[in-house]
Amino acid sequence: MRRLRAWLSRLGGLFHKERRDLELAAELESHLQMHIEDNLRSGMNSAEARRQALIKLGGVEQVKEEYRERRGILWLETLLQDVRFGARILRKSPGFTIVAVLTLAIGIGANTALFSMVDSLLLRPLPVRDPERITVLAFQQRNGPLRSIFSIPDYSDIKNQTQSVFSGLFGYQLGLDGVSVNGTGERIQSAYVTSNFFSVLRIKPALGRLILPSEGEAPGTDPVIVLSYSFWKTRFASDPGVVGQSVSVNGHLLTIIGVAPRDFDGVNSLVSFQAYLPLGMAVIGRFPNNFMVNRGSRSLYVLGRLQPATSAAKAQASLSLVGQRLSQQYPDIDRDMKFQVIPEVRARLGPGRKDIAPWQDYSWAWPRWCLCWHV
């Protein structure tokens, strides 16, 4: 407590410096005159009496400097002096000031943006329970490139044959859809998700409910939609009454059933989803009607949650057997199928590594995306 009071006293010494310096000067002059009078009474002349008094005090200016150091915080006082000096220089050169400020602003903004990108891509875990157990599935054929999109029949076979190592496999397809709310239309980034998408991730809705495991198992069924929290907040003004309302998506009426959690924007670090629809509703997003049964139609990103006692190596071994079975059963499409299990965080890295990157297989979506933007 005593140290705190002393520190606060020294901090107060930074203010009203002129008044404090005047008081110090008056006090030193009083002491000097007292010593001079003593010297005069001892028989010294005026000049000698003053010289001896100054020697006894140790030098007036030195005493003032020592007092100022004890009174304030020297480094902070020096910093304030430097800031004031810099401000005077900048006022004299407005052109240089503008260039300096803009350079600092651009530098700070660039560093902030870079850190945000690195944090999103490499550092921040998914906002789900036990995110370290979430993995991304990829495959390779005939020594070709590593790919991350699967057909739904392949996904179903993998899911059914790996229940011992995965507590659940789930997936999503990217969509860029037109949404009309109260007569106003806009494009949104959506995700057509498997029926177990939210249950395997173990997340709960902020409002209403999420897609159920029984919804979206067939094309065109269960016309429902879940809004992202940010889209609900900005487009629907955080209205809790949106649950049960209808919204037009690509000209089809869908019922809003809920709102996703506040901090959940999907499982793709490059894309923030604004809405989630059952996988079967992808037929309204320009996907072909047979996409759920066509083994050659690959558009589904597949992820899995490892069983509590299962390692990625064990899951890899199990998937190797599945790949051999699919290669034998469907040689025309799945020949030489080799799977890889990649931790979700590593799957965000660039294509220069032997890891899968979410943007490596976006080529299938670009023609449809470009078409959507021009509709």
pLDDT digits (tens, 9 = 90+) for 91-108: 777 777 787 778 888 888
DSSP at 126: P
For residues 198 and 210, give the distance between their C-alpha atoms in angstroms, rounded to a whole number: 7
Average pLDDT over residues 39-68: 74
Give CA 256 to chain center in angstroms: 27
pLDDT digits (tens, 9 = 90+) for 297-328: 999 999 999 999 899 999 999 999 999 999 99
From the number of C-beta atoms within 10 Å of its C-beta (0-12, 13-18, 19+), residue 217 rates as middle
The amino acid sitting at 86 is G
For residues 315 and 313, give the distance between their C-alpha atoms in angstroms, rounded to a whole number: 5
Token pair in block for residue 291: 């996409």
- The answer to whether residues 150 and 22 belong to one domain is no
Q: Count CB neighbours of 353 within 10 A.
A: 12
Residue holding tokens 């799945």? 334
The pLDDT of residue 59 is 65
The pLDDT of residue 372 is 37
- The answer to whether residues 179 and 35 belong to one domain is no
- The answer to whether residues 338 and 218 belong to one domain is yes
- The answer to whether residues 137 and 167 belong to one domain is yes
- The answer to whether residues 87 and 103 belong to one domain is no
Closest CA to 137 of 127, 151, 153, 148: 148
- The answer to whether residues 86 and 196 belong to one domain is no
192 beta partners: 173, 277
Token pair in block for residue 228: 């992202």
DSSP at 125: P
Residue 366 has pLDDT above 50, yes or no: no
Range of the domain at 114: 99-124
From the number of C-beta atoms within 10 Å of its C-beta (0-12, 13-18, 19+), residue 65 rates as exposed
Residue holding tokens 């499409």? 333
Give CA 115 to chain center in angstroms: 9
- Total residues belonging to the chain: 375
Which long-range contacts (C-beta less than 8 Å, at least 24 apart) are formed by 20-26? 20/71, 21/64, 24/64, 24/67, 25/64
Average pLDDT over residues 177-185: 88
- The answer to whether residues 212 and 315 belong to one domain is yes
The residue ranking higher by pLDDT, 77 or 191, is: 191
Confidence grade of residue 67 (pLDDT, cut at 50, 70, 90): low
Average pLDDT over residues 43-64: 74
DSSP output for 138-179: EEEETT---B-EEEHHHHHHHHHH-TTTEEEEEEEEEEEEEE
Helices (H) and strands (E) counted in the chain, each on its own, are 12, 11
- The answer to whether residues 105 and 75 belong to one domain is no
For residues 346 and 131, give the distance between their C-alpha atoms in angstroms, rounded to a whole number: 12
Confidence grade of residue 286 (pLDDT, cut at 50, 70, 90): confident
Question: What are the phi and psi torsion angles at 351 (to 5°)?
Answer: -70, -5
Question: What are the phi and psi torsion angles at 251 (to 5°)?
Answer: 85, 5
Indicate the number of domains in the chain: 3
54, containing H or E segment: helix 46-57
- The answer to whether residues 144 and 104 belong to one domain is no
- The answer to whether residues 48 and 169 belong to one domain is no
Contact 41, 49 (CB under 8 A): no
- The answer to whether residues 158 and 305 belong to one domain is yes
* Residue ranges of E strands in 265-373: 275-278, 298-306, 337-343
- The answer to whether residues 201 and 241 belong to one domain is yes
